[in-house]
Amino acid sequence: MLKKLIISCLLLGSLTAQAQTKKAKSAQKPSTPAKAAAPAATTLQTQSDSLSYAMGISVGQFMKSQGVEELNYEMLNRAIAQTLNNEATLFDINEAHGVMERYARAGMQRKLTAEKDKGKQFLEQNKKREGVKETASGLQYEVLTAGNGPKPTRDNSILVHYAGKLLDGKEFDSSYSRGEPITINVSGVIAGWTEAVQLMPTGSKWRLYIPSELAYGDSGAGRDIPGGATLIFDVELLEIKGQ
């Protein structure tokens, strides 16, 4: 993420620097009678205009996605100009990288803390609902369909149907959507699953509420599961393989 942030800043900077260079060259021309300042451009008249505006959108969208809410553009332009003109800068390049890295890490920590807090608040309220049970680990579940078959152990492989979603309802994975159940090892999945399925009689369907420490922790998983996320799974235990 930091590398992308730096590249985006450099792309934005190169465009800004080109504009500054053109202004500097214009200033060296013989003086002419003063004219009223031209209004800021509001239309795209040249290929350079279009490219500049497109790059601005791209960089702006990326910065927004990384949580950059405000920049001092005067300082940004000054640093670009000083660098291209080989003038002294307030930071060397390593110090600059350090500043951006600390900013990125702080932003990630803020998001992680917010996600964890959201999960804790949800689970605190959820366990008060009728039918929801909580184990010593913090796993919560409710029985949607009560089975009466045997319960698997950590050493078993099982056949399950499932659907997983975030607290906002966004589904990130589903065997139902794929049209077929999957076989998994009880000990080879996230801790919340391993604990829950050993409590489930075959034929059961449960809804699991799994805190982040029993799911994917601070790292999250892929693009869809953020770090610190509490997850909700509907799990249907169809069969213990070999039985």
Q: Of 174, 163, 165, which Cα lies nearest the Cα of 206? A: 163
User: CATH number of 124-240: 3.40.47.10, 1.10.10.10, 3.10.50.40, 3.40.50.150?
Assistant: 3.10.50.40
Distances in Å between the alpha carbon of 121 and those of 125, 144, 193, 230?
A: 6, 23, 21, 10
Query: What pLDDT was estimated at residue 149?
Result: 95
Single pTM value for the model: 0.70
Q: Rounded to whole angstroms, how far apart are CA atoms 48 and 26?
A: 17
Which residues participate in catalysis according to the annotation?
Answer: 162, 172-173, 190, 216, 233
Q: What is the pLDDT of residues 69-97, one digit of tens each?
A: 778 888 888 888 898 899 999 989 999 89
**What is the average per-residue pLDDT within 47-66?**
83
| pLDDT at 35 exceeding the cut of 60 | no
Query: What pLDDT was estimated at residue 16?
Result: 44
Query: What pLDDT was estimated at residue 59?
Result: 76
Label the pairing between strands 171-174 and 182-185.
Answer: unpaired
Q: What is the pLDDT of residues 127-162, one digit of tens each?
A: 999 999 999 999 999 999 999 999 999 999 999 999
Q: Where are the domains of the chain?
A: 2-24+47-107, 124-240
**What is the average per-residue pLDDT within 164-184?**
96
DSSP 187: G
Query: What pLDDT was estimated at residue 162?
Result: 98
| Mean pLDDT over the full length of the chain | 84
Q: What is the largest CA-CA distance in the chain?
A: 95
CB contact at 8 A, 211 and 139 = yes
Tokens of 189: 């999945």
